[in-house]
Structure formats: C-alpha cells, structure tokens
Structure 1
Amino acid sequence: AEHNFLKSLRPTTLINRFATTEEVANMVVYTCSEQASATTGAALRVDGGVLRSIG
C-alpha cells in the first residue's frame, strides 16, 4: 500500500522523483555553513518540487 501511495505522488514532482537522502543532507550542511550566512528567514523546501499537497 505504501509503495502504491509513493508511486502515485511521483508524477507530481518537477524532477519526476523524490529527493534523495543525500540531497536533503546537502541542504542541511549548506544551511549550517558559512556559505549560508546571508540566508535569513528562508523556508527552503527540498521536496523535488511537489506540485500538490498531500491529503
């Protein structure tokens, strides 16, 4: 059931796949780094560009 649910969401992403664990981790590392020191008050979504909400 979970596999079918996840499969049904795939066409709703701009990149046609889910973000990988490594991609999410890379964003976390970036936001904790000095390179992100000018980034304030931002909501950064790492979701593959989901076009619709769940539920």
Structure 2
Amino acid sequence: MAIDARIRELGNRHRNLDETIQQEMTHPSADSLRVRELKQQKLRLKEEIRTLEARLN
C-alpha cells in the first residue's frame, strides 16, 4: 500500500506542476528557463510513477 500512496502523491505533484506550467505560459513575459525546468521536473515525476506502477504489476 505504501507504493500506491506514493504514486498518488507523485500524481498530485505532477498535476500541480502541469497547472504551474500552464499559468507560467499564459504570461507574456514567461521565463522560458523556468518553464523548461518545470517540464523536466514533471517528466522525472512521470518516470518515477511509471517505475512504481511497474513494481505493482
């Protein structure tokens, strides 16, 4: 069950990062470096989620 909880936590963080990225991109003066870093964080979370899901199967 600890893995399930971790997956949910990472999923929430992934969604929050997605919202943050969308908000950042709506600004005319969006910081492209910040957006890139946020996207990289989001990708790392997605990869960790996939790894954990694979352990459940």
TM-score band w.r.t. shorter chain? 0.3 to 0.5
- TM-score with structure 1 setting the length: 0.35
- TM-score with structure 2 setting the length: 0.34
User: Higher helix fraction: Structure 1 or Structure 2?
Assistant: 2
